[in-house]
Chain A
């Protein structure tokens, strides 16, 4: 069965690329364009990995991470953000984020990190 990945990102260009690449890699990709849509998806569906931006409309990435870590502790989270500030990255890891990718990003590298994270949490990819 395909692993389910939730991609939370408001930049259509980035969303399209990630969706294309991860679908090509064999994942079942769901996209949420804002924090509110993402929250309702997290509540209704069990995902195998969440890939999220930090700056999102309506509900911030930080709030989503807190919610997901509290209610779905076994779902790994990867942050994809433009922020390169050390304190923001440290805060994200303190909240339990499993990986942090900065934009501009390499889609190939993102694909590898997703593969590695899914494998370490769920055994197979």
Chain B
């Protein structure tokens, strides 16, 4: 009886295992066939786009409206076809310039891909939204302001990043005005993107970076001060002065670095007075400032307030050597790096 049960159990187990194997093999075959079919469709679509672009740009004998009408009815029916078309057109965007590029923009609009992208920028799926913003930035499409504002403060960093790049790529003037709409801290990566984007994509009149100095977010204020210094906007020096007494440490240190970059020496006495009560990060910027614009007397007045911070002591020793080039920095000198206790 027990043996009968065992045989029945084994048979059932065998049937289940064989069914699972057949199912798995079937699934793999179906997936493979699906992938091959999709790849063939993709290749066909890429071919059709290539033919359309080249005929649209260089074939004067063909009627352009008819070309577009035919492509739209045969090759732009599904989301997949639209996705491949947009991806390929972006490739042409990257490789072309001049008259061909502006004709490509016309083609993009005539294929009504602009309205498709605009609808995707309003999508609730973050990945679609991020991708649509990227395309809108490259093709310079106009997206709704409220959508961009929401995206700038989106919880997904990918959407935030793409909306920020969109603003930079499409700006004709005031490329950093979008910062006013942000209510989250600017990350270091975002700051790097903006700085780089300004050099790469923006070609309008020199922006006024002081517009965000009144922002509530300290990282945006500090970044604006950094940009003012980077672009040598001396006209904003007066506006920067109050930031030397700001409560935020990052803002104070960035302001000192900005004044150093702008070579505004007048604040030296104020910095020396403030040194003793400052944090190590701000003290570091003050030491660099004194190294550039001070003398050995002003530097020596800071010596009692270095505390036991080794990095500050090293910077001090370095500054001392620079301001007193004839001084000896050997093991028995007053400011030897080997004898930090002497400082």
Contacts and interface: CB of A to CB of B under 8 A. Distances in A.
Interface of A: 11, 13-14, 16-17, 20-21, 24, 103-109
Nearest to B94: A104
A16 B54 contact: yes
A24 B58 contact: yes
A106 B88 contact: no
B58 A107 contact: yes
A104 B96 contact: yes
A106 B98 contact: yes
B309 interface: no
B53 to A, nearest CB: 7
B97 interface: yes
14 contacts: A11-B95, A13-B92, A16-B50, A17-B57, A24-B58, A24-B59, A103-B95, A104-B96, A105-B95, A105-B96, A106-B96, A107-B57, A107-B58, A107-B96
Interface in B84-118: 88, 91-92, 94-101
Given A17-B96, A104-B101, 17 more contacts: A13-B95, A17-B53, A17-B54, A20-B54, A20-B58, A21-B58, A24-B59, A104-B94, A104-B95, A106-B96, A106-B99, A106-B100, A106-B101, A107-B57, A107-B58, A107-B96, A108-B99
Nearest to B93: A104
Contacts of A14: 95
Closest 5 CB pairs of A and B: A106-B98, A20-B54, A104-B97, A16-B50, A13-B91
- Majority-rule SS of B interface residues: helix
Contacts of B59: 24
B245 to A, nearest CB: 46
B92 A108 contact: no
A13 B88 CA distance: 8
Nearest to A25: B58
Majority DSSP secondary structure for residues of A touching B = helix
B87 to A, nearest CB: 11
Interface residues of B, number: 17
A17 B101 CA distance: 13
Nearest to B91: A13
Nearest to A106: B98
Nearest to B50: A16
Nearest to A102: B97
Contacts of A17: 53-54, 57, 92, 95-96
Interface string B71-93: 00000000000000000100110
Contacts of A103: 95
A109 B54 CA distance: 15
Nearest to A15: B50
A105 B58 contact: no
A16 B99 CA distance: 18
Contacts of A106: 96-101
Nearest to A17: B54
B131 to A, nearest CB: 20
Contacts of B97: 104-106
Given A13-B88, A13-B92, A14-B95, A107 B50 contact: no
Given A13-B50, A21-B58, A24-B59, A109 B95 contact: no
A109 B88 CA distance: 22
A59 to B, nearest CB: 23
A22 to B, nearest CB: 10
Given A106-B100, A107-B100, A21 B54 contact: yes
A58 B53 CA distance: 30
A118 B99 CA distance: 23
Contacts of A107: 57-58, 96, 100
A81 B248 CA distance: 48
A20 B92 CA distance: 14
The listed residue with most A CB atoms (<10 A of its CB), out of B54, B91, B98, is B54
A108 B11 CA distance: 74
B23 to A, nearest CB: 39
A108 B98 contact: yes
B139 to A, nearest CB: 15
A124 B300 CA distance: 79
Contacts of B57: 17, 107
Contacts of A16: 50, 54
A109 B57 CA distance: 13
Interface in B36-62: 50, 53-54, 57-59
